[in-house]
Chain A
Amino acid sequence: MSRFVDRRPNGRHKSAVNRQRFMRRFKKQIQEAVREAISGRSIKEVDESGEKITIPAKDISEPTFSYGEGGVRNIILPGNKDFIPGDLIRRPSHGGGRGGSQASNSAQEGMDDFVFEISKEEFLDLFFEDLALPNLVKTQVAKIPSFKSVRAGFTQDGTPANINVIRSLKDAIGRRMALSAPKKKEIEALEKELDTLLEISKDSPRINEIREKISVLKKKIENIPFIDPFDLKYNYRVRRPMPTTQAVMFCLMDVSGSMDEAKKDIAKRFFILLYLFLSRTYESVEVVFIRHHTSAKEVDEEEFFYSRETGGTVVSSALELMKEVMVARYPTSDWNIYAAQASDGDNWNNDSPRCKDILINDILPFVQYFAYVEIMPRHHQSLWEAYITVKEQCPQFAMQNIEDVKDIYPVFRELFKRQEISSG
């Protein structure tokens, strides 16, 4: 008698570990493929899908001792139609129709490159790894809950900022009334007695005695504090997870002649990282691309990354434009504003102080975060110097000199840290 077992509820994904082993083994090739994919995707598409990965056949083959082509072979084939012994057949060209009786599928597939797909999550993981993101941050970028404080009644302690004045004063009045009530009654009684005494005789020693008593009592009432720590009531707030609504991200990039493809690629990753971070925090993220050389222009992503310009560089033009766009379309009451600027550091010398002024006065007060990367291994120029003074004054400003994609993350360190504190 056979035994039937239903295995469907358990033991799925037994090959998951083997799949991981595979990914581990071919990490280099997979990472390379991911890198290529990143440069081919638009910023907003980065986290939308997985990716098809191709690994060269020679890297993935599992060699065995086997025969090569050639020598003498006897092949048995089915389906003879009109051959008779002695017939000669033109040797088929390589690859086509050459089938021994044992031609196996695996051997044929082995000739091709190995193609497989990775999931969206795996794709992002690899992207983050490329950027050397610390694990903590990875999970945050992957999922950041945002919170909103909501009133939930009153509490006895808290910070002065949260004192509820009306409630506290009401309590104070109550306390004062409660504490003074018996004394007031006593005073009332004494005053009555005094009135009676005064009618009978004005010289009674008792009169002064009573007057004294009344004034002591009145003093006592006066001494009851107007407000006591006991009276203080604070607003009580609980943190309720809330999706923050919307954010706008400004991408500013120098597209003058000195920014080559490699630098633009690094810049793109920098923008992608900020975008991923924002898209996890906000329900909707708009991206504004502003490119500049001597004058700035708002463009679409395609033009932003792929069209070339030559000429000098005036960074302030981009900042001016950003300011204008901000004022016109993104009021701070409705929008969380982030900005990322990438440049190779070139600027007209006279322009750098101007940039500093615009940043400090017109931009930084309204943005959540402004990150600047200078993609240039060589010495810094006036823009860097100017920005350093900005950084000293404004905590929401971050800057970093980068030569490699791995240097990008530190720019965001502060940003991630702040998020961590406010959400954790």
Chain B
Amino acid sequence: MPKRKDHIISRSSEWTYELLLRYDKEISRIAESYKLDTYPNQIEIINAEQMLDAYSSVGMPLGYSHWSFGKQFLNVEKSYKRGYMGLAYELVINSNPCIAYLMEENTLTMQALVIAHACYGHNSFFKGNYLFKTWTSPDSIIDYLVFAKNYVAQCEELYGIDTVEEILDACHALMNHGVDRYKRPNKISLQEEKARQAKRAEYLQTLVNELWRTLPSKKNREQAEEETRFPEEPQENILYFVEKHAPLLEPWQRELVRIVRKMAQYFYPQRQTKVMNEGWATFWHYTIINQLFDEGLVNNDFMMEFLHNHTNVIYQPPFESQFYSGLNPYTLGFTMFCDIRRICENPTEEDQKWFPDIAGSNWVETLDFAMRNFKDESFIAQFLSPKVIRDLKLFSILDDENREDLEVTFIHDDDGYRNVRQLLSENYNLGNQEPDIQVFNVDRKGDRSLTLRYTQRNHRPLSDSTQEVLKHLYTLWGFPVKLEMLSEDGKVQLLYQCPPKKEGQESSN
């Protein structure tokens, strides 16, 4: 690209459509030169109030109605009004075309930053990353949302808001345990979804009927226990299991379970790629805007404002700061992508040793490869370099409840790099962040109770809300629900059941 001098696009901070179009054109040109592959962009200008709305529905423009979104709205509104929190400058939806919201209050510089960040950064990530490609259907998500919203509204009309709310509450409680981690879902369009919904309702019911055909009888009980378990293998997707096998649910209730499950699945990749996704988008807005400057398209004032905002975004308060609230995914992701580029362009001896495959390679291709084929957990395991650990001064602490003090285990030194990297990667494994609770057995011949099994790791107990979740599951299942724990020493122990047994049933934990 030939360098152009004195072609500054704008000198004021007020944006106009003409200017936005100019910036978009230049940013798009630069993005293309770096081979960023994106969905077409649909950029929507909204005001602060609309941003509040968008926020509270998890960024989804067309979510179904539920009180929890209202709660979210009130919360955001409150902090916004009191000035505790600025609104996000931008919100972007994984759809095709990729919808991005720009707030009207933003200055021109911010709009340019957001366009680069969301419309070319996030957008290309949505289109390229394997998790998004596998699990989400950007072509049909908006249609599906419309379908879901209408379906929920229709159910509310037919069966009452309270009844619908009860089911949705129960499903929301199990949402994090309503995703397939490995299986691949089908992509279907709205028309198909509608057509199939009716059939599915019927078909599901026959399946359930089949399963429960045998009436429970006490005589068979002992015999039943010897029989094979159902399900034969533990099932990680509790909502899916409920949808397919809960004995008492009406067809429309099953559909509601399915809708929540679909939403959970849709958001699952985002939860798994927070660091990568934000890091990628931040890396690209930084790179693209800098190139605009190098080409003489923006002036110093523009850059000062840009850098000020950029620095805020990637600020990482140290652990003892009152503002510390975990590792900032923007910081970690941005630092890592910049570091990968550095390793490609200017590898040190250390890099040669640690990253022989990528040291000295083409950085654009290497970054593209990293973006496409990893999630946070594996991305960190693969690419977190000693230099980043040193720059961020990462260290690990062992928190063992049986010991009085916390112990510093590893720091940024030769002995520590691999371990810090390993531990950090594990922290980003969603499977480690959430307890491993799976459907273990259904007492088909007996009281039809559903047993969940918590496979304990690191002696970690379940939180106090566990019993509440079981109540919700009981609502869906309709028969007793139990939660047992498989300890690390191989013992199985009943933790909770719902409804609780009347006699003094053991209840540890």
Q: Which A positions have Cβ atoms within 8 angstroms of B?
A: 1-8, 11-15, 17-26, 60-81, 83-91, 97, 99-105, 108-109, 114-117
Contacts and interface: CB of A to CB of B under 8 A. Distances in A.
Which of A18, A76, A77, A78 gathers the greatest number of chain B CB atoms within 10 Å? A76
Contacts of B172: 62
Interface in B439-491: 458-466, 468-469, 472
Interface of B: 17, 20-21, 24-25, 28, 40-47, 49-50, 52-54, 56-57, 61, 65-75, 77-78, 97, 101, 104, 115, 119, 161, 165, 169, 172-177, 316-321, 324-327, 392-401, 404-412, 415-416, 420, 423-424, 426-427, 433-435, 437, 458-466, 468-469, 472
Contacts of A91: 399, 404-406
A67 B401 contact: no
Contacts of A68: 460-464
A156 B43 CA distance: 68
Contacts of B325: 99, 103-105, 108
13 contacts: A1-B28, A7-B50, A8-B50, A11-B53, A15-B70, A18-B65, A63-B173, A63-B465, A68-B463, A73-B399, A76-B327, A100-B427, A116-B74
Nearest to B460: A71
Nearest to A12: B49
B408 A18 contact: no
Contacts of B169: 62
A102 B427 contact: yes
Contact of B175 (A6, A64, A77, A80): A64
B65 A101 contact: no
Contact of B28 (A2, A71, A73): A2
Nearest to B319: A77
Given A4-B21, A72-B400, A85-B416, A78 B464 contact: no
A5 B176 CA distance: 34
Contacts of A97: 320
Contacts of A78: 316, 318-319, 327, 392-394
B476 to A, nearest CB: 14
Nearest to B104: A8
B405 A89 contact: yes
A8 B104 CA distance: 8
A109 B119 CA distance: 31
Contacts of A3: 40-43, 97
A21 B50 contact: no
A419 B28 CA distance: 67
B399 A64 contact: no
Nearest to B102: A4
Main secondary structure of the interface of A (DSSP, over half): loop
A97 B397 CA distance: 13
Nearest to B25: A1
A169 B17 CA distance: 76
Contact of B424 (A62, A85, A101): A101
B315 to A, nearest CB: 11
A115 B69 CA distance: 15
B460 A25 contact: no
Contacts of A1: 24-25, 28, 40
Contacts of A75: 396-397, 399, 427
A108 B323 CA distance: 13
A165 B459 CA distance: 102
A12 B407 contact: no
Given A3-B41, A72-B398, 17 more contacts: A2-B43, A4-B24, A7-B45, A8-B104, A12-B50, A21-B69, A62-B173, A64-B469, A65-B469, A74-B399, A76-B396, A76-B423, A78-B319, A80-B393, A88-B405, A88-B406, A115-B78
A83 B405 CA distance: 14
Give 10 closest A-B pairs by Cβ, nearest first: A79-B318, A22-B70, A71-B460, A63-B465, A18-B70, A2-B41, A63-B468, A77-B319, A68-B463, A88-B405
Given A8-B104, A17-B65, A76 B427 contact: yes
B320 A104 contact: no
Nearest to B119: A2
Contacts of A104: 325-326
Nearest to B65: A17
B65 A89 contact: no
A365 B176 CA distance: 72
Contact of B70 (A21, A61, A109): A21
B326 A103 contact: yes
Contact of B408 (A71, A84, A102): A84
B399 A14 contact: no
A4 B23 CA distance: 12
Contacts of A88: 405-408
Contacts of B406: 88-91
A69 B319 CA distance: 19
Contact of A18 (B57, B409, B460): B57
A116 B77 CA distance: 9
Nearest to B456: A71
Contact of B67 (A18, A72, A89, A100): A18
Contact of A19 (B24, B70, B177, B460): B70
A97 B326 CA distance: 11
B362 to A, nearest CB: 28
A70 B97 contact: no
Contacts of A22: 67-68, 70-71, 73-74
A70 B461 contact: yes
Contact of B469 (A8, A63, A79, A89): A63
Contacts of A76: 327, 394-397, 420, 423-424, 427
A64 B416 contact: no
A223 to B, nearest CB: 76
Which of A7, A15, A19 gathers the greatest number of chain B CB atoms within 10 Å? A15
A86 B408 contact: yes
B53 A85 contact: no
A64 B57 contact: no
Contacts of B41: 2-3
A80 B420 CA distance: 13
A164 B464 CA distance: 84
A25 B401 CA distance: 39
B36 to A, nearest CB: 13
Nearest to A73: B399
Contact of B324 (A19, A61, A99, A116): A99
B396 A74 contact: yes
Contact of A64 (B56, B173, B401): B173
B316 A73 contact: no
Contact of B50 (A11, A24, A65, A87): A11
A66 B65 contact: no
Contact of A102 (B20, B165, B433): B433
Contacts of A83: 395, 408, 411
Contact of A7 (B44, B407, B415): B44
B100 to A, nearest CB: 9
B122 to A, nearest CB: 14
A62 B58 CA distance: 15
Contact of B53 (A12, A72, A100, A108): A12
A74 B40 contact: no
A214 to B, nearest CB: 90
Contacts of B72: 18
Contacts of B49: 12-13
Contacts of A84: 408, 411
A33 to B, nearest CB: 14
Nearest to B49: A12
Contacts of A102: 326, 427, 433
Contacts of B395: 76-77, 80, 83
A79 B412 CA distance: 11
A74 B401 contact: no
